[in-house]
Structure 1
Amino acid sequence: MESRNEFHRDTWVEVDLDAIQHNIQQIAGQIGLDVAIMAVVKANAYGHGYLPVARTALASGATHLAVAFIDEALFLRKQGITAPIMVLGASRPEDAGIAAANEIQLTVYSKEWVVQAVPHIQNKPLLIHVKCDTGMGRIGLKTADELREIEQEAARHDTIKIEGIYTHFATADETDTRYADEQAERFRKLIDHMKVKPPLIHASNSAAALMRRDSFFSIIRFGISMYGLSPSNEIADKLPARLTPALSFHSTVVHVKKVEPGEKISYGSTYEAAGQEWIGTLPVGYADGWIRKMQGFEVLIDGKRVPIVGRVCMDQCMIRMPENYPVGTKVTLIGRQNGDAILIDEVADHLETINYEVACAIAARVPRIYSKKNKSVFVLNSLN
């Protein structure tokens, strides 16, 4: 791939922007024209890259972006993103001014926050989204009285405007809908207590957007499934939309050796060759997010599954190859190669975690190559 000439590592991630567009169009077909899409690009767009994903999402039909912290929103503003950006996490009241000045919408869940924030807001009004805790147990108000207090306090100031109200489902990615049903009912009751309904009312994350038509309201938050991944294994075969994974992860063989029976590999000598074996070294390790627990997992070389042997090092790991492959041979850690595929969900199962964590864990130092219509369009290397 020509784009690899723009960096000097033999390990890289490829992100298919057409897949991002496809997934957004799939969800748009599910929710209908009267419901907007907020693309969630927090955590470096779940490891896929803030700016390329944000631009692709907006060009593909999303109208809003969501991040976790003000710093993420400011980064997007500095890169020229002008679309509405909402911060999903907690923000300090004293940062309300910089948020307002940059037209960044903040999550609020107490009257006290509004009181403390007002003195810091100068020229532009701050748009806020009131977060309701209907059963997630993170941040958010729980009672109609708390909601009324925020609404009344915001009405006293020209510099505060309630732009939205929202909640977050804890179990929308499970087939048992009872708890999510309870959350949805609590949320509707809280909305009913508002004197003035705000423009944006939202509850749906990816799972709810795909599985619960009753939770669409005016806008959905499209997160994990925008990247082509199922919110959980439990509902993966029940999704009404056909999703396409956007991310693949690759490396190359940088050294080959033939070892004899009894020779040991890597730290702790945890692997011992049973016979004559070809061992290939890959320049990827736990500092790249390919953690030590990946020992014993399989990767693809020449379309064949081969195991990682010995402990994964900080910057390197070793594989047992069926033959003497030359230095420079491509190895796929996540993705497709010659008719086989290592899915990110397979990695997650091996690590006893979820696909979200696997994608987010791929370090920023790993270069990203972005493609559109099967052509490399640019490379994002955090070290340049």
Structure 2
Amino acid sequence: MSHFYRDTWVEVSLNNIYENVSKMREYLDDSTRIIAVVKANAYGHGDLGVARVAIEAGASLLAVAFLDEALSLRRGGITEPILVLGVTRPEDAVICAEQNLSVTVFHEEWLKQVKDLQIEKPLKIHVKYDTGMNRLGTTSLDELHCIIKIIEKHPSFSLEGLFTHFATADELETDYFDQQFLRFQEAVNSVVQKTANIPIIHCGNSATGLRFPEKLFNAVRMGISMYGLSPSMEMQHLLPFELKQAFSLHSKISHVKKIKAGESVSYGATYTSEQEEWIATVPVGYADGWLRRLSNQEVLVNGKRTQIVGRICMDQFMIRLPEKMDIGTRVTLIGEQGMERISIDEVAEEMDTINYEIPCMISYRVPRIHMKNGKIEHVINPIIQNM
């Protein structure tokens, strides 16, 4: 087990992740596969532990953004199928085949460059069709058919999937979503009429799976909801089951002092006390991902809300205490203490962004502690993991 030597850490509830995936598994038709999206270090939660518990809970595939993330999972002992959603360089196709990784393909030129490589094992391919996201994917039905024809003719290529991605599935207005779905349905019908069976056809992210389970074809890419977060605030009231947030962020008071009226706190002296106050220092800063924009955010101490005062520094920030407290008192930046709770959604609102961004922005400097049944399952600390 890895260790950590600072009083700032993230706790990840593997039980909550398990329950979120299990509930999605129960909610969907048995024939619908769950693709657990663990890109970006599992949205900042820790990819290996999340991947394992997602598979235990009913996911049958994993998805990452690029090859390095997939190889990290393989080296961690993950043997389940993994789909690389982003672009893979043609020259790296051999590695993908060797490691039993599925790649995303969306233009003929990529396949032409790969055809001449010495690929001994089948290269599994998911073809991406762009229906309106305008990020990755071919937008031409003719090119889609050409891509599939090349795949079917080459002995080293294996057509495993066809997919698209919706731009507005988490919005209440569904006109654009409906247009994209119809475009993809047209593409699927066209392809199925001319080709052999495609094992995995997927169009839905978490929002689609939660709102439109009848429009998933035979797989859903479960991302943000696996971590207990709603795909958007506006669709929160539409959730078919409760999602349990898995991520919490904690620290401890490292210094306590009383300041006089008229004294200022932190860089730029942006906060000046109007009376005597107890000020505590907390060893978290913007290098940990707690950005200066959060300089007015509240945190929890002894089950009470208290405000950050002054500018957040690179490694520390200060809070105003309601009374003197001991060094070592726990400070919760995200999570629960007593009856109080600071959610990821609250922090996202303070930063004028989406909840996806918050766990992703907490940096590698902050150890992740995976908790299971109230006990530490694993500690991830990249800074000293090779010591």
State whether structure 2 residue 85 is matched by structure 1 residue 88: yes
1:190-229 alignment runs, 5 A limit: 190-194=187-191, 195-196=194-195, 197-229=197-229
Tell me the number of residue pairs that the alignment of Structure 1 and Structure 2 aligns: 381
Partner of 1:298: 298
* Aligned match of 1:111: 108
1:120 to 105, 117, 121: 117
8 Å CA contact 1:69, 1:89 repeated in 2: yes
- SS state of the match for residue 58, structure 1? helix
Q: Percent identity?
A: 51
| 1:25 counterpart = 2:22 | yes
Residues 96-134 of structure 1: CA deviation (Å, up to 9, x unaligned): 111111111000001111111122242101111001110
1:173-252 to 2 correspondence within 5 Å?
173-194=170-191, 195-196=194-195, 197-252=197-252
| Range moving further from structure 2, 213-222 or 181-190 | 213-222
1:159 to 152, 156, 159: 156
1:355 maps to 355
Cα drift, residue 53 of structure 1: 0.3
Give the deviation of 1:214 after TM superposition.
2.9
Give the Cα–Cα distance (whole angstroms) in 1 for the partners of residues 283 and 272 of structure 2.
Answer: 21
Give per-residue Cα distances to partners, 1:35-68, cap 9 Å, x unaligned: 1111000000000001000111111111100000
Rounded Cα–Cα distance in structure 1 between residues aligned with 2:89 and 2:343: 39
SS at match of 2:170: coil
> For 1:355, what is the secondary structure of its paired residue?
coil
Displacement of 1:215 after TM fit?
A: 2.0
2:285 matched residue in structure 1: 285
Alpha-carbon distance in 2 for matches of 1:73, 1:368: 20
What secondary structure sits across from 1:234 in the alignment?
coil
How far did 1:269 drift? 1.0
Match of 1:132 among 125, 129, 151: 129
Deviation digits for residues 248-281 of structure 1 (CA, Å, limit 9, x no counterpart) = 0001100011011111111111111111111100
Cα shift at 1:355:
0.6
* TM-score for the superposition, normalised by structure 2: 0.97
- Runs of 4+ in structure 1 displaced over 2 angstroms? none
Say which SS state the counterpart of residue 327 (structure 1) adopts. coil
Counterpart of 1:330 in structure 2 is 330
Query: How far is the alpha carbon of 1:216 from its aligned partner?
Result: 1.4
Structure 1 unaligned runs (5+)? Answer: none
Residues 100 and 121 of structure 1 are in contact (CA less than 8 Å); yes or no, is this contact kept in structure 2? no
Q: Which residue of 2 aligns with 1:64?
A: 61
Give SS of 2:347's match.
Answer: helix
Q: Give the unaligned 5+ runs of structure 2.
A: none
Q: Deviations over 1:193-240 (max 9, x none)?
A: 212241000011000000012321111100000000000001012100
Aligned partners of 1:119 and 1:70: how far apart in 2?
21
Secondary structure of the 1:233 match is coil
Alignment check: 8 A CA contact 1:95 1:120 kept: no
- How far 1:325 moved relative to its partner? 0.6
Q: Is the 8 A contact 1:96 1:121 kept in 2?
A: no
- Quick one: distance in 1 between partners of 2:213 and 2:255? 53
- What residue number does 2:35 align with? 38
Which amino acid counterpart does residue 377 of structure 2 have in structure 1?
V
CA distance in 1, matches of 2:205, 2:329: 40
In structure 2, the CA distance between the partners of 1:148 and 1:58, relative to structure 1 (3 Å rule), is same
- Which of the numbers 160, 172, 187 marks the counterpart of 2:169? 172
For residues 126 and 347 of structure 2, what CA distance do their matches in structure 1 show?
36
Q: Distance in 2 between matches of 1:57 and 1:114?
A: 32
Query: How far apart in 2 are the matches of 1:121 and 1:87?
Result: 21
Within 2, Cα distance between the matches of 1:155 and 1:235?
41
What SS does structure 1 have at the residue aligned with 2:346? Answer: helix
Q: CA deviation at 1:161?
A: 1.3
Q: Could you tell me the TM-score, scaled by structure 1's length?
A: 0.97
Deviation digits for residues 354-383 of structure 1 (CA, Å, limit 9, x no counterpart): 010001011112111111111222211112
The code of the aligned residue for 1:7 comes to F
